[in-house]
Amino acid sequence: MTLCGAHRAIWPRIGRLRPCYTSAMATGSLTLSEHPRELVQVVCDRCERKGRYRGARLIAKHGPDIRLPDLLREIAANCPKAGGLGNDMCGARYEGL
């Protein structure tokens, strides 16, 4: 298990490990089946897109074991800036996570 920055900073004081979902997101270890929401919202600040997807439908289409970052790439694949670089890159992200 990995610790996020905040947990690592206070680690010596806690003295024990706690699950950190921020960290799980950052390392991409969280899969679709572990996603706590019924409705998945994806937004892109760069191309002003907004999408809502039913968790059950996403699982049916992509499988329960797809990692959330991979799923995000799948969803944003048709974004006009998906293949962009640097500042012109697609900014798709999960909303509310």
Q: Which CB sits closer to Zn ion, 30 or 42?
A: 42
User: From the CB of 31, what's the least distance to Zn ion, in Å?
Assistant: 23
Size of the site for Zn ion (CB under 5 A): 7
- Tally of CB atoms within 10 A around 61: 12
For the chain, how many helices (H) and strands (E)? Answer: 4, 3
Instruction: List binders of Zn ion among 53-82 (CB under 5 A).
Output: 79, 81
Between 12 and 86, whose beta carbon lies closer to Zn ion?
86
Separation CA 53–CA 97 (nearest Å) = 14
Regarding 30 and contact with Zn ion (CB under 5 A), the answer is no
